[in-house]
Amino acid sequence: MRHPVFLALCLSGTVALTGCGQRQSDAEVQRAIKSVNVIDESNLNDIMLTVGDPDEAVAYFKKTSAEQPERIDLKRGLAKSLIRANHPTEAVAVWTQIVASPEGTNEDRVALADSLIRTNDWTRAEAELNQIPPTHETYERYRLEAMVADSKKDWKKADSFYEIAAGLTTKPAGVLNNWGFSKLTRGDYAGAEKLFIEALTYDATLFTAKNNLVLARGAQRKYDLPVLDMTQTERAELLYTLALTAIKQSDITVGKGLLQQAIDTHPQYFEAAARSLAALDA
């Protein structure tokens, strides 16, 4: 008589264990699905912030951050996508919310300062940077500090910050170009030329640095193109820049010759150079 009872207990125990195992299995499946969804969402967020259409990215992050307002990462995504879409004023509003939240970081404040500079609010940008402790030493922070110092014509401080920023990145071409342009506006043409050349050693494709280099050389009446990697179109455009620099310095004959070279070099019809040459001839 005891065997059926024992068998029943065993069977019921087996069923209970099976049920428990099933519930556990379901929970694990749900956790796995949730993990996959998080990974997929993370990948989508990264895509939207890098290669996605800027306006589509703004719409995506507006929608997702509205649905999950507690997610600070989605607010950051929205602010960054607004910058990519060239809406810095809106980005300032979002970054301000982020910085004011308990989850706001020094890096968020740097991003806010960057957005403020893009809206030409230099005073508030400087105030935000001043609230960041000196221990927060990043490339982006010092790049902005240099720009603010430049805006105040505090050249000594600007040079110091540009130098620090250049040392904090493995890709300093951009900040070296900015530093060179700062020197160019001060009239330190030789110093600017040196920095533009250095920038191009890190990124030989940076056309703005090539164009700025030609401006710096032209300002010193060096009217020959330096040895650079350049396409035929780039060569024509640089000759045009050099020609205009010469003309502005009253070296008209030299300028006309450079304009003609630019026209002859360009693989297509170079309307701007042709128009300038015709104006000089008239």
Cα separation, 79 vs 10, in Å, equals: 61
Three-state secondary structure string covering 142-176? HHHHHHHHHHCCCHHHHHHHHHHHHHCCCCCHHHH
Gyration radius of the chain's alpha carbons? 30
Domain 137-221: what homologous superfamily?
Tetratricopeptide repeat domain (1.25.40.10)
Q: What's the confidence (pLDDT) of residue 54?
A: 87
State the first-to-last Cα distance of the chain, in angstroms, to the nearest integer.
123
Q: What is the pLDDT along the chain (282 residues), one digit of tens a residue?
A: 444 443 343 434 443 434 444 555 555 545 543 444 444 555 667 777 776 688 998 998 899 899 999 999 999 999 999 999 999 999 999 999 999 999 999 999 999 999 999 999 999 999 999 999 999 999 999 999 999 999 999 999 999 999 999 999 999 999 999 999 999 999 999 999 999 999 999 999 999 999 999 999 999 999 999 999 999 999 999 999 999 999 999 999 999 999 999 999 999 999 999 999 999 988
| pLDDT for position 27 | 55
Residue 30 backbone dihedrals phi, psi, to 5 degrees: -65, -40
pLDDT for position 24? 53
Rounded to two decimals, what is the model's pTM? 0.79
